[in-house]
Chain A
């Protein structure tokens, strides 16, 4: 019985061969992989992981489950794919291989719980948010405005941005109409903005309304499915993407889908398309890209303090320069880019599973922030923001992590 299962797995992994063979083993991925940079061993980097999958279907490693830990130990930052000269789809290969291996390697209980509840019962999560909010407040000590340190042992190393008592969607769910409406869009908040960075969600809706854009917000946020994918449940991931696409497509009069989490966008759009072979009817884009390229807003920078920018790994690479320019022309008066543009190390479930490794990744980045004395660190991703808030506090830095939309929102709130 067991053997049949193993044979099947080998056969399924073999189906990845055409994708894996594209790898010429040039080793370039070593120069961009955040965990290789830290560990300096081959099993950390894409080339090693690909070679291990290959070794299974070529029969050089017999017990397939042995390689799972190496595939799982990956931030899924997709940097290896972005910089691979041979265009190897490392992300797709890793996710598919993990889901194949999951058949013989069972998921730990807590991961099962996450998949069951957070993914499939979003209304329940929304209802319990006030409890979590209270739980976090009482079971923790506040380290700075809106950041808490949980007191339970397992999580006591972390500085966590608080879970808000009222999810963003329960206040803004539905159509938020602009006064002089010139366009309608959908805003997909994702879990992090729904429960944690609710102020980003508010700022996005209000700023869009201010510019004459009406905004549809889901009444209950459905997770983009990426955590399911990284835990090796591609079926559930597919379901989540489909559910979200169904909702997007059901809205007839929206011209764009706006996101503020590059990982959600990656999950619903890029990887989503590969796995579901389906695409939303209207274009999906990040809020900053939308403001700059569709609305062409041109505002004066308001932020006075010395500022810099962390570009999320899942941000569209072609937009990096646009983002930097936007920061210096429209957001911050005293702006300079970071030399270190590597990964923040968060990676969602990666941070939960490998907390220590996750925290080591951005060390040289926080060092640079410290040396150059930045007071504001902007980043257009809630995942990066959570991670960077945590590591900056650990370095005893009072640098504040923000989304650029917060500055724009402050600007429009000012009278006159």
Chain B
């Protein structure tokens, strides 16, 4: 990058918040998606909205790609500076501006860490339900840009169900407001909706109004053990079709169970072919009623039921689920996590297909995930240095996506498209949808400076 441009950036954010040496920019050459690292030309950490506006203008006028970054936990390469440019850090915008307990909303800046909001809200006796697995580090800006889900999504929905208002900058550095505090609001385009899953390609988000809900009064957590993977998946679709909506309904396959147990010694049944983790919550009587129905379905399919006695046991069960990914990560150097999602009645067929693909390409694939949402996480364990195996991995991924689409599913339930799935996008949405997305994107950002190359735009 030219020295004069660097000086311009320095003038806006101050020298101490501007990094252009390779030993600094290299630390922004990656996110949580395994891909060839690529360093940006410059990294800036603005401290107020005015600086953000100026940076955007500067980038736009000089055709510098602008990649907005929170904590960099993206699983689809959404924050990778593929063609260099400027990475703008939002981590300094970490203030919770208001938690309104009368009207049940919170106003937060985009760099607030999800867990910090959840904790602050809980202290006031309310609940912010979206709980992506990375909530201890992920920022709300990233959550909105990817429309993150989480374990509770089955009953409580994903980030989109909680976004009431947004403030963002457009490609020219103008501050735009969309949505607001009223529960009903239909004035003009649904701009919060436009920003959701936009992956940083349409604007730079700085502030949100998020809906809060009262927490459930009671809950019951079950661990159900199966000696047959397909019966476990059948249980999932049977529970949903009998009109019960648990708060969470998670599945772990045998390989994942063994791996979690190997590293964390939680006392999981390692011989089980699958386990389901189910939580029902709500009013006490309703919980009891739903629990009985769920238990009957599980038993009818050969599931053995254990109920968490107290919060401690409940926590250790959820810990097992949260440890799934990181435990798998310990086995092999490279981990590729997919999040193909199918309609819930297709979960058994999908589980079957994944295990066949693993066999066919002779790969280690652990599968776990939000079975109740049809959102599975087949996780491929490999080594990026093994070129021959990586070829088989690629083929397996192609086939996983193919079967997902055949089952009327989607490429991504919650991780986004980024660069990871860009090449598959058209096969899911079709050419005219891509063309429409392009019109939208280039209408709003003709210079294509806002996170270019993502979603193949």
Contact = CB atoms under 8 A, between A and B. Distances in A.
The reply to whether chain A is a binding partner of chain B is yes
Interface stretch (B97-105, B200-208, B329-337): B329-337
A42 B28 contact: yes
B290 to A, nearest CB: 32
B68 to A, nearest CB: 14
Nearest to B69: A42
A67 B23 CA distance: 6
Given A27-B73, A31-B137, A86-B330, A42 B27 contact: yes
Contacts, number: 92
Interface in A31-60: 31, 40-43, 48, 51-52, 55, 60
Contact of A40 (B27, B45, B115, B335): B45
B71 A51 contact: no
Contacts of B28: 42
B30 A25 contact: yes
A60 B27 contact: no
B21 interface: yes
A105 B34 CA distance: 32
- Count chain A CB atoms within 10 A of each CB in B19, B137, B323 and give the residue with the most: B137
Nearest to B87: A42
B72 A27 contact: yes
A43 B89 contact: no
A341 interface: no
- Count chain A CB atoms within 10 A of each CB in B39, B111, B115 and give the residue with the most: B39
A27 B26 contact: no
Interface string A5-43: 000000000000000011011111011000000001111
Contacts of A21: 333-334
Contact of B137 (A30, A51, A61, A87): A30
B136 interface: yes
Contacts of A43: 23-24, 27
A212 to B, nearest CB: 37
B330 A55 contact: no
Given A26-B73, A42-B72, A66-B23, A51 B89 contact: no
A55 B27 CA distance: 9
B113 interface: yes
B92 interface: yes
Contact of B333 (A22, A28, A42): A22
Interface string B40-70: 0001010000000000000000000000000
B22 interface: yes
A27 B32 contact: yes
- Count chain B CB atoms within 10 A of each CB in A24, A28, A67, A87 and give the residue with the most: A24
B456 interface: no
A28 B137 contact: yes
B26 A55 contact: yes
Contacts of B334: 21
Interface in A58-74: 60-61, 66-67, 69-70
B415 to A, nearest CB: 13
B270 interface: no
A139 interface: no
> Chain A interface residue count: which class?
20 to 34
A26 B334 CA distance: 12
Given A40-B89, A41-B89, A27 B27 contact: no
A318 to B, nearest CB: 13
Nearest to B26: A55
B329 A86 contact: yes
- Count chain B CB atoms within 10 A of each CB in A42, A51, A67 and give the residue with the most: A42
Interface string B403-444: 000000000000000000000000000000000000000000
A391 B200 CA distance: 41
Interface in B111-159: 111, 113, 115, 134, 136-137
A31 B113 contact: yes
- Count chain A CB atoms within 10 A of each CB in B24, B31, B263, B334 and give the residue with the most: B24
A85 interface: yes
B82 to A, nearest CB: 15
Contact of B37 (A22, A41, A60, A87): A60
Contacts of B89: 40-41
Nearest to B111: A40
A40 B92 contact: yes
Contacts of A85: 323, 325-327, 329
B243 to A, nearest CB: 36
Nearest to B38: A60
B330 A51 contact: no
A26 to B, nearest CB: 5
Contacts of B333: 21-22
B259 interface: no
Contacts of A27: 31-32, 71-73, 134, 137
A22 B330 CA distance: 7
A302 B22 CA distance: 57
A61 B136 CA distance: 31
A25 B36 CA distance: 13
A30 B73 CA distance: 10
Contacts of A67: 23
Nearest to B45: A41
Contacts of B19: 41
A71 to B, nearest CB: 10
A233 to B, nearest CB: 23
A48 B329 contact: no
A47 to B, nearest CB: 8
B1 to A, nearest CB: 17
- Count chain A CB atoms within 10 A of each CB in B27, B73, B115, B134 and give the residue with the most: B27
Interface in B321-353: 323, 325-327, 329-330, 333-335
B91 interface: yes
Given A31-B136, A87-B263, A52 B26 contact: yes
- Count chain B CB atoms within 10 A of each CB in A61, A66, A69, A85 and give the residue with the most: A85
A237 to B, nearest CB: 25
A60 to B, nearest CB: 6
**9 A-B pairs with the lowest CB-CB distances in the bound complex, closest first:** A85-B326, A40-B91, A48-B27, A42-B27, A66-B23, A21-B333, A31-B136, A27-B73, A24-B329
20 contacts: A22-B333, A24-B34, A25-B34, A26-B73, A27-B72, A28-B136, A31-B115, A31-B136, A40-B89, A40-B94, A41-B27, A41-B89, A42-B27, A42-B28, A42-B72, A51-B26, A52-B27, A55-B29, A60-B29, A85-B325
